[in-house]
Amino acid sequence: MFTTIQNNDPQMFDLLKAEEDRQRDGLTLIPSENHTSAAVLEALSSVLSDKYAEGYPGKRYYPGNEVADKVESLTRDRAKSLFGVPHANVQPYSGSPANLAIYSAICEPGETIMGLNLLDGGHLTHGWKFSMTSKFWKSIPYHMTADGIIDLDEVRRLAQENKPKVIVCGGTAIPRAIPFAEFAKIADEVGAYLMADISHIAGLIAGGQHESPVSHCHIVMTTTHKTLRGPRGAMIMVTQKGLDKDAELADKIDKAIIPGLQGGPHLNTIAGIGVALLEAAKPEFKDYAAKIVANAKTLAQELTTHGLKLVSGGTDNHLILMDLTTTGPGRGMFVDLALDRIGLCANRNTIPNDPSNAFYPSGLRLGSPAATTRGMGEAEMKMIAHWIAQVIEHTKDFQLPDNKEGRLATIKQFKESLKTDTWYGGLRAEIKELCNKFPVPGIS
Ligand SMILES: Cc1ncc(COP(=O)(O)O)c(C=O)c1O
């Protein structure tokens, strides 16, 4: 791999190799990350990257798009068939612009959107106060209960009081199944569009491990690079229910993408999405999705056995949200940095009713998709849980001070300890040894 870059640009070559080493010798436990197949990576590096194709198949602003039209149509058809929808737009550059495009297609500026609060597991683009989505539209966030379950009573109350134009269901740190039917009841009661952001769970839906939102929602958005295991990108799908509500909805979504928000689509990415969608339609992908969930459940069970606390007590999907407050508030950063030191990459995250704040959250978010892609199973999940428990125990004396000076000093001291404390070296070696038995698909 990379032989041309090696000759032309040794500096960049070294960095690409270093990232391959990092991915191969460590383990990705961030639930929004995955390893695409070598076939997807090939599509990404194809000459389609060089082509401009503003517009849609058959209606482009540039010549030379005969092949591009076929690539985009094929990918669109695969998306429609896999998820059972009448319309799919495969051009969004990523999930954030896709969500922006959806709101702009169906809401006038200043109208109301409702999504899960960022700190409770929603996404920035679901109306967080610093996101453009709350500057252009009025954002009414809903929350999780203290048990880590979406507070549907609050959703109904806020929807009835605020009459939103759209309700968004789905998020980034939700360990339990999304109750699409309950959301649909509420949205229908107030005449709102229901949009499912299935970015995290699209692969589980395609693999039959999570209920599909299609019969309940008007619009479905997904990123393509998480459990779906494609390249970084996104798709917006319009359901039959959506077309029944507004016959122009598909056209409005397409126009919101271009000319509304984007220019030329990234055709190499669209080809990569097409390759990933074909993979996701195969029977093996159903096994893969089932293993993702089984692995997450095993990991959750083992963490609990080690006395660790999980938001909502467990998981229904690929994601686990650990509540680290049993060892003190604001400890997510210490645990995430210490895990990274030994080659386990998971991320600090807020938990519902976090006693700390978004910069120093009290939770850790873990997921099984990438480990499952590498072929890991029950035995490996047990080892991972054991390592995580050891790290939490080993770092528990590092507590987050209330004041800024104290915090900076403690963090500095902690980072220093990651370099000097020889205890980490043994675990790092064990994890590297395990990881080298489970290859990453795109790394030869
Ligand atoms: C639920 C959800 N929606 C939207 C996005 C935004 O996707 P992107 O990072 O591709 O813009 C993410 C990404 O983390 C997400 O988890």
Q: Is 170 left (phi over 0), alpha (psi -120 to 50) or beta?
A: left
Q: Which residues of the chain have pLDDT under 50?
A: none
Amino acid 431: pLDDT:
98
Check: CB of residue 326 under 8 Å from CB of residue 310: no
Predicted pLDDT at 296: 98
Determine whether the shortest distance from the Cβ of 33 to ligand 1 is under 6 A: no
Amino acid 109: pLDDT? 97
In Å, the largest CA–CA distance within the chain is 64
What pLDDT does residue 331 have?
96
Q: Is the CB of 223 under 6 A from ligand 1?
A: yes
Rounded to whole angstroms, how far apart are CA atoms 175 and 172? Answer: 9
Phi, psi of 24 (to 5 degrees): -70, -40
pLDDT score of 147: 87
CA of 373 from ligand 1 middle (Å) equals: 20
Ligand 1 atom showing the smallest separation from residue 97 Cα: 11
Ligand 1 atom with the shortest distance to the CA of 96: 11
Going through 82-202 in order, the beta strands assigned E by DSSP cover: 87-89, 112-116, 138-142, 166-169, 193-197
Q: What pLDDT shows up at residue 146?
A: 85
Residue that the structure tokens 């309940």 belong to: 216
Distance 96 CA to ligand 1 centre (A): 6
How far, in Å, CA of 89 to CA of 85, rounded? 11
Q: How far is the CA of 33 from the centre of ligand 1 (A)?
A: 11
Name the nearest CA neighbour of 94 among 246, 262, 245: 262
The verdict on the CB of residue 269 being under 6 Å from ligand 1 is no
Task: Give CA separation, 218 vs 122, 214, 247, 319, in Å.
Answer: 19, 8, 11, 26
Stretch (H or E) spanning 221: strand 219-223
pLDDT of residue 1: 76
Query: Which residues fall within 8 angstroms of residue 191, CB to CB, at 6 or more apart?
Result: 163
Domains, the chain, in order of start with CATH, read 43-280 (3.40.640.10), 292-435 (3.90.1150.10)
pLDDT at 381: 98
